[in-house]
């Protein structure tokens, strides 16, 4: 079954999320060290048919790329080189960390678990992917 993969890239950690086979729901999957993300995705794509990467792209309130976009641009080059046959879509990631914290609180996650940045990263990836899928439905 086809899968979409959501990515919240950061200098230290990368949050990864995946769609269900029908492309309706995004689920947080994993948090991976940035240096190992391409290797992780290669292993994942060996077992799953990934048809699209949705990568969170940081933009300022005026719509211009933020300072962090430079790091993501470098990552995108590596991603496209490693997976030339899988398209990449950039998704505005403004406010995803705030939304991730809100989702953890609303979901009843303990404060100690909410403090773990790994949780925020993979939930942010799920929010990025879900917003893409919701917009494509409409």
DSSP secondary structure letter of residue 36? G
51-85 CB burial, b ≥16 within 10 A, e <16? ebbbbbbbbeeeeeeeebbeebeebbeebeeebee
Q: Which pLDDT score is estimated for 39?
A: 98
Q: Which pLDDT score is estimated for 68?
A: 77
Q: What is the pLDDT of residues 86-118, one digit of tens each?
A: 999 999 876 565 555 565 555 665 666 555 566
Mean pLDDT taken over the chain:
85
Query: Could you say which of 1.10.287.3510, 3.40.1160.10, 3.40.1350.10, 3.30.420.140 is the CATH number of the domain covering 2-137?
Result: 3.30.420.140
User: Global pTM?
Assistant: 0.84
Q: Which pLDDT score is estimated for 35?
A: 96
Within 1-138, where are the H helices?
Answer: 37-47, 69-82, 96-106, 111-114, 117-137
Mean pLDDT within 64-72: 79
- β-strands 49-57, 88-92: how paired? parallel
């Amino acid at each position: 079954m086809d899968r979409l993969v959501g990515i919240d890239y950061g200098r230290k950690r990368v949050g990864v999320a995946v769609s269900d086979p029908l492309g309706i729901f995004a689920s947080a999957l994993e948090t991976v060290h940035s240096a190992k993300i391409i290797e992780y995705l290669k292993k994942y794509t060996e077992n799953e048919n990934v048809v699209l990467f949705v990568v969170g792209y940081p933009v300022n309130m005026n719509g211009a790329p933020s300072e962090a976009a430079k790091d993501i641009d470098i990552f995108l080059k590596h991603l496209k080189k490693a997976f030339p046959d899988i398209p990449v879509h950039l998704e505005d990631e403004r406010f995803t960390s705030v939304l991730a914290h809100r989702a953890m609180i609303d979901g009843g996650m303990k404060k100690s678990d909410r403090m773990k940045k790994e949780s925020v990263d993979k939930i942010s990836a799920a929010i990025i992917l879900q917003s893409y899928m919701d917009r494509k439905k409409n």
